Amino acid sequence: MSESLIQIFETVNIGVVTLDLELRVQFWNRWMELHSQIPAEKIIGTPIIDSFPNLDNPRFSKNCKAVFSFGSFSFFSQKLHKYLFPFKPDASYGNSFDFMQQSCTMGPLRDQDNVINSLFLIVQDVTELAASENRLIELNTKDALTGIYNRRYLEAHLKDECERHHRYGRQLSLIMLDIDFFKKVNDNYGHQCGDQVLKAIAHEISKLARSTDYFVRYGGEEFCLILPETSADDALSQAERFRDHIADLVIPCKEASIKVTISLGIAELAAGNSPDQLMKRADDALYEAKNAGRNRVTLC
Examine residue 210 and tell whether it contacts other proteins (CB under 8 A): no
- Residue length, the chain? 300
Query: Could you tell me the smallest distance in angstroms from the CB atom of residue 162 to other proteins?
Result: 13
Burial of 17 (0-12, 13-18, 19+ CB in 10 A): buried
Examine residue 88 and tell whether it contacts other proteins (CB under 8 A): no
Angle in degrees, CA 174, 180, 181, rounded to 5: 145
CA distance 14 to 222: 49
Examine residue 86 and tell whether it contacts other proteins (CB under 8 A): no
Examine residue 74 and tell whether it contacts other proteins (CB under 8 A): yes
Cα–Cα distance list, 131 to 33, 34, 46, 163 (Å): 24, 22, 34, 31
CA distance 218 to 150: 6
Query: Could you tell me the smallest distance in angstroms from the CB atom of residue 81 to other proteins?
Result: 7
Residue 268 in 3-state DSSP? strand
Burial of 113 (0-12, 13-18, 19+ CB in 10 A): exposed
Binding mask 25-64 for other proteins (x = CB under 8 A): --------------------------------xxx--x--
Other Cβ atoms within 10 Å of 49 Cβ, number: 15
CA distance 290 to 300: 13
Examine residue 171 and tell whether it contacts other proteins (CB under 8 A): no
Cβ closest to other proteins, residue 258 vs residue 269? 269
Contact 123, 32 (CB under 8 A): yes
Query: Could you tell me the smallest distance in angstroms from the CB atom of residue 163 to other proteins?
Result: 9
Looking at 10, 22, 221, 222, which residue is catalytic? 221
Site size toward other proteins, by CB under 8 A: 28
The dihedral formed by the CA atoms of 161, 164, 165 and 170, expressed in degrees to the nearest 10: -130
Query: Could you tell me the smallest distance in angstroms from the CB atom of residue 97 to other proteins?
Result: 12
> Which range of residues in 4-12, 24-32, 77-85, 123-131 is near other proteins by CB under 8 A?
77-85
CA distance 213 to 228: 7
**HSE on the CB side for 174, CA within 13 Å?**
31
Cβ closest to other proteins, residue 46 vs residue 69? 69
Cα–Cα distance list, 120 to 25, 106, 126, 194 (Å): 10, 6, 19, 59
Cβ closest to other proteins, residue 59 vs residue 254? 59
Cβ closest to other proteins, residue 77 vs residue 274? 77
- Near other proteins by CB under 8 A: residue from 37, 56, 75, 247: 75
Query: Could you tell me the smallest distance in angstroms from the CB atom of residue 16 to other proteins?
Result: 16
- Near other proteins by CB under 8 A: residue from 72, 96, 117, 291: 72
Tell me whether residue 33 is one of the annotated catalytic residues. no
Query: Could you tell me the smallest distance in angstroms from the CB atom of residue 98 to other proteins?
Result: 9
Question: Restricting to residues 144-163, which ones interact with other proteins according to CB under 8 A?
Answer: 153, 157, 160
Examine residue 110 and tell whether it contacts other proteins (CB under 8 A): yes
Contact 41, 29 (CB under 8 A): no
Q: In the complex, which residues of this chain contact other proteins (CB under 8 A)?
A: 57-59, 62, 65-66, 69-75, 77, 79-82, 105, 107, 110, 114, 137, 141, 153, 157, 160, 214
Active site residues: 221
